[in-house]
Structure 1
Amino acid sequence: MAQSRHPASSPATAPPRSYLPPPALCGFLVLLVLVFAVSYGVGRSVGPVAPGMHGPATTGGGTGDGDGDQGGTDDMDMGGGHGH
């Protein structure tokens, strides 16, 4: 009785298994892509959310110096309307 028993599926004799993600993860990713595709399609078909809203294109003809100064804001009352 000197025979030793080795299981048929020992790690040394098992073929290397390729990694496959769980089916639930694959299903979730497919569902996520589908939801984003449908929402993108609906958004494209509906159009802009505000009248006159266009892409980030510039309107052209701007001759400002680009410092972002909004003229006339120096005289604004920032005290909440309380008199001095």
Structure 2
Amino acid sequence: MPRSSADRSRPPLRQAVARLLPARPVLGFLLLLALLGTLSYAAGAAAGPVAPDLQPAGGTRTGGGTPAGDGDMGGMHGMGGAAPRPVPGGAPR
């Protein structure tokens, strides 16, 4: 049975799918990335929490997540100085 001209102009399904997919190296990279992500998730799940009973040195927690006082670390001279002055528009830097 002879084929019509419409059948000859349409590419086979395999060629159409191959044209839509990214290149093989890209597919390989994505597959490797998914595999490594899965392996790292499994390793993290097997290891469990890093420090489940981590407590401050003083014992129990004090409540809020804000530091006590002004947050000064002491001994860090010059770290909490004034903010730098803005440079005027025409001044050289």
TM-score, normalized by length of structure 2? 0.40
Q: Give the number of the structure whose residues are more often helix, by fraction.
A: 2
TM-score, normalized by length of structure 1? 0.43
User: Which is greater in Rg?
Assistant: 1
